[in-house]
Amino acid sequence: MDIKRTALWAIFLMSVLILYDNWQREHERPSLFFSNTTLIQRATSTAPSARITPRAPKFVVKGQQIHFRMDVYDGDISTVGGTLSRLSLTKRVEGKQPNFYITLFDQTAHHTYLARTGLMGGNFPNHNDIFTILPGPTLLADGADTLSISLESLVKSGVKVVKTYTFTRGSYVIGINIRIENIGSVPVTPTIYMELVRDDTSVETPRFSHTFIGPAIYTEQHKFEKISFSDLDKGKKDYAQSADNGWVAMLQHYFASAWILKEGVQRQFYADKLGQALYRVGMKELVTNIAPGQHVDVTARLFAGPQEERKLEKIAPGLELVKDYGWVTIIAKPLFWLLEKMYGFLGNWGWAIVLLTLLIKVAFFPLSAASYKSMVRMKEITPRIEQIRERFKGDPQKINVAIMELYKSKKVNPFSGCLPIVIQIPVFISLYWVLLSSVEMRGAPWILWIHDLSQQDPYFILPVLMTISMFLQAKLNPKPPDPMQAKMMMFMPIAFSVMFFFFPAGLVLYYVVNNILSIAQQYYITGMLSKNKQH
């Protein structure tokens, strides 16, 4: 068995392994490669709240729900702890489907996702105590830029807490002011905590795709650290413990929430498991000594919204990293920047994908030309290889020696055609993650039947076109002399196409356009080589 055949078998086996792993995760079974922090969900999120995979009921503390509404949020604040108990994102984006809402924070019998605060270090008001809403509006008035809602706690150990949420028109950043009043007779030194609590229920995720759900911590020293639910199950503490900067976040596909304290304020980080399938990540800040009759205001910001990279960059250092590209970040970020520029020019994300794919193909044209030139040379000597296999039939060692001598005499490197492809692979993988991770694709139409680039093609037209294009590419490539290799090369388009029937339309669009351009390039380059050879 020669080297090329071995390489092809390796590719085939890896493809089968990836397909099997995706099938495992699709059927809620353990993954071979990923920590099982999420279960892939089939439902999309076009209703006023995201659909959740049912789990065992959780104990829900009941309290009065204070309903509020402004241009980007519709939600509730519970009188239990003065906690944001529901937060639906309602902002309409131009060019996208109407009413394309999702609920981030929620507290029901089957789902928990909360942003809460409280005091510790004594018998002080915390997230379990009852708060009372203070007089004031709960709807953003026409012409007003901000909406402030305040709640106060009962007095515990001489301490009263007043929480004020400030919502700003058009912003996914909520201002939080926590006034700690000492109305007792002795000084107090409480510690304030701000945390995000979430269960591990699945969310809107494309099939055959793995996206991270769970906590993350960022500091200037340790940078961006994701913490899987499985690590919290094991009690691992492999993250920054304290710093005078940074934030904590809870991530899911397309969306995130994050508590952000002032820079220069010392804080401690924590992340742990609270109960069955319930986790939290948070920060603690020691409040200075508060004398009787005095008060201290602690301010923070709470981000809760889509992972729009450019907006995140302006909110806090490193916050754009919640849109996680993994190890291909260094390539993915420039690609997204370029994709944004294309969108700014064309006004349609689908056409921006088409144009970006075209630009990438142009940039890699010299490498593609070298690859196709190598394929033409291999095609020319294929009959000789078949003759060698027939001549030394039954003696693999002599076949390999004779084929290597043929390569040497004809100055053909069987892997020279693979090298240009290998160089391009990181770019293709990076673009895959850009298209999979960009919330801008959510609800964004292309043309005709494609109304949402983040969802699968409803009529499977793009996946069918992709399958056809893959077969055409296989036909244009030199036919492997080994019948088994030839069958495998024809089977691979079918194997890969299975996944693409369930991929988001934006991803499939990229691969369809890339394949069509590759076919055109290959036809043009091989034609030019044939003409040059005739002359």
The C-alpha R_g of the chain, in whole angstroms, comes to 29
Residue of 196 and 326 predicted with greater confidence: 196
Sign of torsion, CA 402 403 404 410?
A: positive
Which H or E run includes 527?
A: helix 505-534
Which residue ranges make up each domain of the chain? 65-324, 342-367+417-534
Q: What is the mean pLDDT of residues 234-244?
A: 88
Burial readout 96-134 (b: 16 or more C-beta within 10 A, e: otherwise) = beeebbbbbbbbeeebbbbbbbbbeeeebbbbebbbeee
Pairing of strands 191-199, 173-182: unpaired
8-state DSSP, 197: E
- Dig out the tokens for 138 from the structure: 């709960």
| C-beta of residue 82 within 8 angstroms of C-beta of residue 151 | yes
Of 261-270, 352-361, 363-372, 400-409, least confident by mean pLDDT is 363-372
Q: What is the mean pLDDT of residues 293-314?
A: 93
8-state DSSP, 82: T
Q: What whole-number percentage of the chain has pLDDT above 70?
A: 75
- Crossing angle of helices 329-346/349-363, nearest 10°? 120
Confidence grade of residue 196 (pLDDT, cut at 50, 70, 90): very high
Which H or E run includes 161?
A: strand 159-168
Angle at 450 between CA 445 and CA 452, to 5 degrees: 50
In the predicted model, is pLDDT for residue 483 greater than 80?
no
Of 39-53, 269-283, 508-522, least confident by mean pLDDT is 39-53
Q: What is the mean pLDDT of residues 186-191?
A: 94
Which H or E run includes 273?
A: strand 267-275
The whole-number pLDDT of residue 10 equals 46
CA 309 to chain centre: 12
Report how far residue 332's alpha carbon sits from residue 435's, in angstroms, rounded to the nearest whole number.
Answer: 10
pLDDT digits over 7-20, tens only? 444 444 455 545 55
Report how far residue 171's alpha carbon sits from residue 147's, in angstroms, rounded to the nearest whole number.
Answer: 12
Report how far residue 502's alpha carbon sits from residue 508's, in angstroms, rounded to the nearest whole number.
Answer: 9
Report how far residue 139's alpha carbon sits from residue 459's, in angstroms, rounded to the nearest whole number.
Answer: 42
CATH number attached to the domain at 65-324: 2.70.98.90
- Crossing angle of helices 3-26/483-500, nearest 10°? 30
Report how far residue 399's alpha carbon sits from residue 522's, in angstroms, rounded to the nearest whole number.
Answer: 30
pLDDT digits over 112-156, tens only? 999 999 999 999 999 999 999 999 999 999 999 999 999 999 999
In the predicted model, is pLDDT for residue 24 greater than 60?
no
Q: What percent of the chain is helix, strand and coil (3-state, nearest 5)?
A: 40, 25, 35
Q: Beta-strand (E) ranges in 169-294?
A: 173-182, 191-199, 214-219, 223-226, 242-243, 247-252, 255-261, 267-275, 278-286
The whole-number pLDDT of residue 129 equals 94
8-state DSSP, 56: S
pLDDT digits over 342-383, tens only? 998 898 899 999 999 898 888 877 776 766 666 667 767 777
Report how far residue 239's alpha carbon sits from residue 230's, in angstroms, rounded to the nearest whole number.
Answer: 14
Report how far residue 479's alpha carbon sits from residue 378's, in angstroms, rounded to the nearest whole number.
Answer: 9
Report how far residue 195's alpha carbon sits from residue 211's, in angstroms, rounded to the nearest whole number.
Answer: 22
* CA distances in angstroms from 335 to 219, 340, 342, 420, 431, listed in the order given: 26, 9, 11, 19, 7
Confidence grade of residue 218 (pLDDT, cut at 50, 70, 90): very high
The whole-number pLDDT of residue 44 equals 30
- Dig out the tokens for 367 from the structure: 């490498």
